[in-house]
Amino acid sequence: MAERGWFEATFERGPMGALLLSPDGSIQRSNPAFRELLGAEEDPVGHKLAEILASGHERLEEGRLRAQGEEKARSLHGFTLEAVGRKRRHIVDVEFYPQSNETGEVTGVLLVFHDRTGIYQDSAATARLFHQAFLHSTNAMELTDRDGFLIDVNPAFERIYGYRREEVMGARPNLVASGKTDRATYSRMWKDLLDPKVGSWSGELINRDRGGIEHPVLITITAIRGDDGAITHFLGVAVDLTEMRRLERQALHSDRLVSLGQLAAGVAHEINTPLANIMLIAESVRRRTADSWTRGRVDSLLHQTDSAARIVRGLLDFARRPEAMVGEVDLADSVRSVTGFLMGKQSAAVEVDVALPDEPLLVRGDREQINQVITNLLNNAYDALNGQGQIEVRLTADPERVHLSVADNGPGIPPDVRAHLFEPFFTTKPEGKGTGLGLAICIGIVESHGGTIDVESEVGKGSKFSVHLPRLTSSGVERPAGVRP
């Protein structure tokens, strides 16, 4: 009886939550500490765990069944417990104790809850938790010893920089340095890291991956110190800003296009008037003179005036951007018609390989504007080949987008030139051959249709321009991003 009284007193007055579960998992008893832990106003006797817990009941049930079946104590560490109708969650450790009668028959399982919420535990479970966070972080993480040699990197580091973990062990983090970060930045970094009152540094660096592609990163480095205050390790966490910088450039580019459109709309017509007068006067002079030198100079004047007029026409096309005649457009049909027309006008020494699907690929947009994009990309490919080579036109689709690519085996585009391809007035063509507005117009049209355009190129191996547009279902409904049929 004394033993029974001791159990009763411990169960009811103990500081730790306790539940007594029957063999079928029903709650036979609960103590005040458990009800306080869950914030329960009523005694949950007679309920199952799944009826009172919004999270954590699966693991508790699993632990109960194993303790009951094996007839020995078990424990679970560091998992989340949340009561139904309560927003607060608790991190708990739970011990499972099988209960039996005088004949040895299991009569239930006693669960004892240790609330660890907000309490730091220097334990194997906590270490495993932090290691999982290290492995699954989307940011590149690197750990070095006190001398700055890498002793571990996470999968995000491997993905961003292209190096395998085993390759970088024992190397220094400057393995991914681009050389474009100034010495003053590194001096400030080490000054803060070695100062016990600061012990960390954050800033933006330009790193470089295995393939030579630069990655702007926002990196935070922390000096880890032992009990004696001496530095034992350095932990670096880098946020890759590449995509953010791309979006910033895209927004800046869009702003520049808007400004240019406003400028063009204001001055293009004013420029057209004197250009037209110059051409009329030049033609008049040419008709009235028989002098070959004068005729030659007039022809040169007319040629230059015509170049200026083409630039103005390009500006007007860019600035007008009439309201799109939006409807269903079969991109396969558009590609078929544009390629057929241009093949009849361009050099026969250029081989054009067109691969189109048999079924229609529908997008929502203005057919004329979409045809203009296809025409510009094909003309650029022809110009890059200088009359001889190969062009591949491919049209594919996934459930969300239609993908059009135009590739040539021309000389390719250097990286420093690729960065400016979509800027207005930027051209690689000889003087008088291009206005530098074609790709600027293309990207404006594609983005106004909810799409994107990108370029891949390698010097000496050619270039590929790809357009990605939202796909329509057969019923004309645009597929929202991320939704699969």
Alpha-carbon torsion 425, 430, 434, 440, what sign?
negative
Q: Is pLDDT at 250 greater than 80 in this prediction? A: no
Enclosing H/E stretch for 441: helix 438-448
Q: Is pLDDT at 479 greater than 70 in this prediction? A: no
DSSP annotation of 174 reads G
Confidence class of residue 126 from pLDDT cuts 50, 70 and 90?
Answer: low
Q: Is pLDDT at 480 greater than 50 in this prediction? A: no
Residue 113 main-chain phi, psi, to 5 deg: -105, 130
Arithmetic mean of pLDDT over the chain: 82
* Sole residue written with tokens 């961003």: 160
Instruction: Check residue 113 and give its pLDDT.
Output: 93
417-463 confidence digits (pLDDT tens): 877 777 766 566 555 455 556 787 788 888 888 899 999 988 888 99
Confidence class of residue 243 from pLDDT cuts 50, 70 and 90?
Answer: confident
Instruction: Check residue 219 and give its pLDDT.
Output: 93
209-219 confidence digits (pLDDT tens): 988 888 899 99
The two three-digit tokens of residue 238, written as one number: 């880098």
177-206 confidence digits (pLDDT tens): 988 888 888 899 999 999 999 999 999 999
Instruction: Check residue 445 and give its pLDDT.
Output: 85
> What number is the average pLDDT over the span 280-290?
85
> What number is the average pLDDT over the span 8-36?
87
> What number is the average pLDDT over the span 93-113?
91
pTM for the complete prediction? 0.41
Q: Give dist(CA 169, CA 146) in Å, integer.
A: 14
Q: Tell the burial category of 126 from Cβ atoms under 10 Å away from its Cβ (0-12, 13-18, 19+).
A: middle
DSSP string, 283-322: HHHHHH---HHHHHHHHHHHHHHHHHHHHHHHHHHHHH-P
Output b/e per residue, 179-216; b: 16+ Cβ within 10 A. eebeeeeeeebeebbeeeeeeebeeebebbbeeeeebb
Instruction: Check residue 413 and give its pLDDT.
Output: 87
Q: Is pLDDT at 256 greater than 70 in this prediction? A: no
> What number is the average pLDDT over the span 228-248?
86
Enclosing H/E stretch for 33: helix 32-38
Instruction: Check residue 323 and give its pLDDT.
Output: 53
In terms of residues, how long is the chain? 485
Q: Measure Cα distances from 324 to 83, 321, 370 in Å.
A: 55, 8, 10
For 16-131, list the strands marked E by DSSP.
17-21, 27-30, 53-55, 74-83, 89-100, 106-115
Q: Edge-to-edge, what's the strand order for the sheet holding 89-100?
A: 27-30, 17-21, 106-115, 89-100, 74-83, 53-55
Q: Is pLDDT at 295 greater than 50 in this prediction? A: yes
> What number is the average pLDDT over the span 383-403?
90
Residue scoring higher pLDDT (262 or 132) = 132
Q: Are 334 and 302 in contact (CB under 8 A)?
A: no
Q: Give dist(CA 363, CA 135) in Å, integer.
A: 41
DSSP string, 231-300: EEEEEEEEEE-HHHHHHHHHHHHHHHHHHHHHHHHHHHHHHHHHHHHHHHHHHHHHHH---HHHHHHHHH
Query: What percentage of the chain exceeds 90 in pLDDT?
Result: 32
- List the beta bridge partners of residue 222: 200, 235
Q: Is pLDDT at 120 greater than 60 in this prediction? A: no
